[in-house]
A and B are shown apart, each in its own frame.
Chain A
């Protein structure tokens, strides 16, 4: 009775082992097979794992040995599903923040550029250009500067800074206050100072020529003095006699030639 029961039991086990081996063989990858086996099937495997003790029994046939040879491929596999998810290549994509961040950064920068270019005073100074000019200047012809504590305005012309002797000369050269770069005291000490720039004025109703310096007009007494100062006729600007008369008289050129005539 016991032998019959044992034979039946062994036959049942053989059938079960064959079924499992068949199924494993039919799968392309045994690891995948284990991964794809649903839970209920997994529940069948514990008896299978328990089986090797029985398959190594002395009464094993050639067929059984084949099944036992299959066992090592079966046995380590169940451990794979535990390690497999770690090296799973299809990881979820990282959150897409970069595009949004770049967009926001670009918008913020645009706003910043606008803000630093808004004029903050009547001279048109902006935040971006508000720093003192001293070290920022590129010395080129036409550069207009004024030292911080001095009223004189200079223009860089042909390798030297030249004093613009009057507001009239400043205006007649087409400069505006926006062109003037305020520099630190002593800035001009590093540079050559050239002859000053004067404006030579004459009015239509008078033959006399005057040179404007600061707020005064200085009469150039004759053509020799005019030429001696290095002027040519093209330097003379024609203005109204009323304007000339408004300017107070200064010393004549050359000095000591008596009171100047009325323009």
Chain B
């Protein structure tokens, strides 16, 4: 429960939370608490997603979803840090990682809040493509709110010349685009998370195709234009 209380601080008193990150207060504790709570929430949401296929898929997705976000963070953290450094930031890597973990934690909380809705559709519909797109939509909304927190956090944490602040703000939004691209490709690499009906359980599917083509094809099938084979 102690780890969860940090979420309350983020959601209710984010300015104080970001100021503490700026001052480097309790960074290690904050990062550990965010890591634990977000991993737990991602695992739960992953289990819900995978339940549409089988118990093994539920367990596999519960393990893979925290891994997805953690791996994305590891891949993207140096970019944010060094670009910020280049534009006059005086934040440490730990502060950058703490901000990114805030993003991920907010995303995980929102995913958890969406979990009952997704479970409802899981139990009452059986259209695989619809369920897949529903999850993509939920991830998009949660991720967007999460990165908005990052943007806000960066404004509070960073300080310096005004022209540099503007440049860093642009860097943050460019980084968010990069984060989305890396995240989607990481998700494609670690798929399946839902598990296609008719196929046996597989922890990882063979590489090939890409996330965006598959989403377009899923839309096409829902609208009756194509059949995804």
Write the A88-120 contact mask toward B (1 if CB under 8 angstroms, else 0).
Answer: 000000101011101101100110110011000
Q: Is the beta-carbon distance between A128 and B52 smaller than 8 angstroms?
A: yes
Task: Spell out B's residues near A (CB within 8 Å).
Answer: 1, 4-5, 7-8, 11-12, 37, 40-41, 44, 47-48, 51-55, 58, 109, 112-113, 115-116, 119, 122-128, 131, 196-199, 227-229
B158 CB → nearest A CB, Å? 25
A183 CB → nearest B CB, Å? 10
B66 CB → nearest A CB, Å? 13
Q: Is the beta-carbon distance between B12 and A98 smaller than 8 angstroms?
A: yes
Q: Is the beta-carbon distance between A99 and B4 smaller than 8 angstroms?
A: yes
Partner of B112 from the list A102, A127, A131 (CB cut-off 8 Å) is: A102
Partner of B4 from the list A103, A126, A127, A128 (CB cut-off 8 Å) is: A103
Q: Is the beta-carbon distance between A135 and B44 smaller than 8 angstroms?
A: no
Q: Is the beta-carbon distance between A102 and B109 smaller than 8 angstroms?
A: yes
Check A106/B198 contact, CB under 8 A, given A112-B119, A117-B51, A135-B128.
no
Q: Which residues of A contact B44 (CB under 8 A)?
A: 106, 109-110, 113
Check A139/B4 contact, CB under 8 A, given A106-B112, A110-B44, A133-B198.
no
Chain A, Cβ-Cβ closest to B54: A129
5 shortest interchain CB distances as A-B pairs: A131-B126, A99-B4, A136-B126, A138-B196, A128-B51
Please report the C-alpha to C-alpha distance between residue A135 and residue B4 in the assembled complex, in whole angstroms: 39
Task: Spell out A's residues near B (CB within 8 Å).
Answer: 94, 96, 98-100, 102-103, 105-106, 109-110, 112-113, 116-117, 126-129, 131-140, 142-145, 181
25 A–B contacts from the bound complex (CB under 8 Å): A94-B12, A96-B8, A98-B12, A99-B7, A99-B8, A102-B109, A102-B112, A103-B4, A106-B112, A109-B48, A109-B116, A113-B51, A117-B51, A117-B55, A133-B126, A135-B128, A136-B126, A136-B197, A138-B128, A138-B197, A138-B199, A138-B229, A139-B229, A140-B199, A144-B198
A-B contacts counted at CB < 8 A amount to: 105
In terms of DSSP, what is the predominant structure of the interface of chain B? helix
Chain A, Cβ-Cβ closest to B109: A102
Q: Is the beta-carbon distance between B198 and A137 smaller than 8 angstroms?
A: yes
Q: Is the beta-carbon distance between A129 and B53 smaller than 8 angstroms?
A: yes
